[in-house]
Structure 1
């Protein structure tokens, strides 16, 4: 089955409905740290194009004055607070407190007043204050950028849906270490949980 036939099959089955933007969006920048950008890191993902797109979306969100959130991962030494996840993925050692690979990528640092959510698991919502913070701000739509598409972006978008927020995933501003994995996860998110859109669509929306 070709990609086109697969997409048509999903549509005929009732997937891929459009949610659209709500009236009060927020941007969440997910884990865009040095671990994914430093070629010497075990988590290096070759996501420089996604980083550039994320920077443009971040700048547009700031100009538009919408809430901006940043998620980051941090474990205590030894990873006891990371549980099974820390045991499963050895590369999470990059995020032990004090490791410079856990710091933000250049230009992606939070600005004054932007919320930072520290997490130990894939979803930005799991075990954090993200959902009540968004609710208190009256947010109905969460724009997702960051890394990795198959991991923390996907988990956060699914949980956004499950918390009643409209998930918008910016295709160009998300990245993964494998292009096929990236595309497969975007396909599935777009079919079931979120609207996957282009950077241009988001920039136009924020400008308007």
Structure 2
């Protein structure tokens, strides 16, 4: 690969008192340690996207950032057996810029570890012509999995993050090359 892939990590939860920053910061440290990626963060709490999907200067800036990215990871909680509305808005407000790009997921929550939210999101990203990475990082009973410094000893999650990043790098590189040589047919 000639240059690092641009990876945007999307932090989905916007609830007051959210646990998202703990999980996202851990994953960001992990991703930033991988030389395959140049990592950015799109925290939906601080990314003003209108729920009515109208055009604004902030939406245009968001669209350009999505267009410039080579790969994505969505860090998502699970609310009522589903994903947060904020991530649906973030996906729906952009269309063509998602196409032919890989996306991975880091889920967290109670007993399900966010897996129900992730499985629903896989259906949505398929409709956007994205490639969903098979490997998923999942934190069951997430608040018990991190120490007060935001580190985890959850070996399964640590291993899954490594596999996710390797698969994301492979798909990201392959799809970046493909998009450059033959634009994705819409």
Q: TM-score, normalised by structure 2?
A: 0.46
Highest Rg: 1 or 2? 1
Asked which structure has the greater RCO (Cα within 8 Å, sep 6+), the reply is 1
